Amino acid sequence: MENGYPLKQIIDDQGNLLDAASKSLIDQELVQKAYYHMYRIRTFDKKAKSLQRQGRIGTYPPFQGQEASQVGSALALRENDWLFPTYRDHGAMLTFGADMTRTFLYWNGRLEGCIPPEGKNIFPAAVPIATQILHAVGASWAEKRKGTNNIAIAYFGDGATSEGDFHEGLNFASVFQTPTILFNQNNGYAISVPFERQMNSRTVAQKGVAYEIPSVRVDGNDFFAVYFEMRKAAERARNGGGPTLIESVTWRTGAHTTADDPTKYRPEDKGKDIVDPLIRLERFMKNEGFWEENFIQSTHEKIEHEIELAVKEMENYPKPNVEDLFNHVFAKLPDSLVRQKESYLQLLRGK
C-alpha cells in the first residue's frame, strides 16, 4: 500500500531541487520566510528545553526535527483560518501568530497561556489524544454553513489514529464535506510505541480510503513539499472540495517530553541517517543562490532578542490568581467547592 502513496519530495537531503516544475514557485520571499520561521521555532524549542532543565517552566514536549512540517503547514493558512494543535505543535502556533510570551506561560502552567491574540483562531493545545480532530471538523463545518471560505487544520500524531475520535472526525468530515485539513505528523513513535506496533497499515495516508477522503504522503522534513501540498489541499477545501488527509513523514529527534527517556525504547542509532530539516533548507539556499549572510545574521540576532525578551516577560508576569483554580468550570460553583475556595482563601489571608 505504501507504493500507492509515494513520499512526495521537492528537495533532497543535500538540498538539490528534485521537482523542476516547482522552481518557478520558489522565490526569495518564500525561502526567507521559511528560514525565518524554522529558525525561530527551533531556537524557541531549545530555549524551552533549557528553561525546563533549570526548573523555570514545567514538563515540556520538544518538537526538534518537525520544523518543516509545522512551518510548511502553518504558512499555507490564511488569517481567518482555524488551527487546532496538539501539545507538540507550538511551533505551528507561533508561525500562525501565537504570542511567544503566552506560549512560554502555557508551559509554565498559566491559564493566560491558552489565550490567543485578538482575532486569531488558535485553540489551546490539546493534551488528550485526537480530541482536537473533532473540534477542527466542527469549526470548519460551521464556517461552511456560514458561507465563508475559511478552513481548519487539525494536527495529530500517528498514535491519534488509534483513537475513536480520529475515525469519527474523518467520517463526519467526509459525510459533510467539511473544509478540514487533517494533518498527521508521523514522527515514528507514539510516546514509546514505534509506528509498526501502532498499526498494521503501511501508511497513515491510506486510512483516508475508507472515508473517500483525498490523501497524500509528503516528506515532512522538506519544507517545500509540505507547503505546496498544504496549499493544494487548502485551496480545494476553500472551493468546496472537502477534507484532505496529509501524512507528513518526519522525525522527532529528542524525547517525547522532558520527563521521558527515549533510550529505553528507541535504538540509539535510529534516525541518525535523517538530515535535519533546517540543514536541508540551508543547503538548498546555498545551492540555489538564496543564501545571504546579512539576512542570516540579522535573523539570528532578531530572534534571539525576541526569545530573551519573551522569557523575561514570562518570568515577570503578575502572579496567578488563586481563584482561577475554582472559576471558569461551573456556571454555579457547587457548595463543596465554595467551601474549599473559602477555606483556601482564609488560609492565604492567614499567612
**For 23-81, how does the pLDDT look when each residue is reduced to its tens digit (9 = 90+)?**
999 999 999 999 999 999 999 999 999 999 999 999 999 999 999 999 999 999 999 99
Question: Is 227 in the active site?
Answer: no
Whether the CB-CB separation of 256 and 64 falls below 8 Å is answered with: no
The pLDDT value given to residue 1: 47
Query: Residue 43 belongs to what domain range?
Result: 2-320
Looking at the fold, whether 126 and 271 belong to one and the same domain comes out as: yes
Looking at the fold, whether 35 and 73 belong to one and the same domain comes out as: yes
The pLDDT value given to residue 327: 84
The pLDDT value given to residue 2: 64
Question: Is 102 in the active site?
Answer: no
Whether the CB-CB separation of 249 and 195 falls below 8 Å is answered with: no
Looking at the fold, whether 209 and 347 belong to one and the same domain comes out as: no
Looking at the fold, whether 149 and 163 belong to one and the same domain comes out as: yes
Looking at the fold, whether 244 and 97 belong to one and the same domain comes out as: yes
Q: Which residues of the chain have pLDDT under 50?
A: 1
Looking at the fold, whether 309 and 337 belong to one and the same domain comes out as: no
Looking at the fold, whether 171 and 260 belong to one and the same domain comes out as: yes
Q: How many CB atoms lie within 10 A of CB 36?
A: 17
The pLDDT value given to residue 191: 87
C-alpha cell at 245: 488527509
Looking at the fold, whether 172 and 92 belong to one and the same domain comes out as: yes
C-alpha cell at 323: 481563584
The pLDDT value given to residue 3: 64
Question: Is 167 in the active site?
Answer: no
C-alpha cell at 290: 538564496
Catalytic residue among 40, 42, 88, 256: 256
The pLDDT value given to residue 15: 97
Number of domains in the chain: 2
The pLDDT value given to residue 116: 96
Looking at the fold, whether 183 and 234 belong to one and the same domain comes out as: yes
- Alpha carbons 69 and 33: distance in angstroms, whole number: 14
- Alpha carbons 260 and 190: distance in angstroms, whole number: 12
Q: 51: closest CA among 105, 7, 9, 1?
A: 105
Looking at the fold, whether 339 and 249 belong to one and the same domain comes out as: no
| CATH number assigned to the domain comprising residue 217 | 3.40.50.970
Catalytic residue among 78, 145, 265, 300: 265
Q: HSE on the CB side for 350, CA within 13 Å? A: 6
Catalytic residue among 90, 252, 280, 283: 252
C-alpha cell at 77: 493558512
Looking at the fold, whether 194 and 329 belong to one and the same domain comes out as: no
Q: How many CB atoms lie within 10 A of CB 118?
A: 5
Looking at the fold, whether 278 and 341 belong to one and the same domain comes out as: no
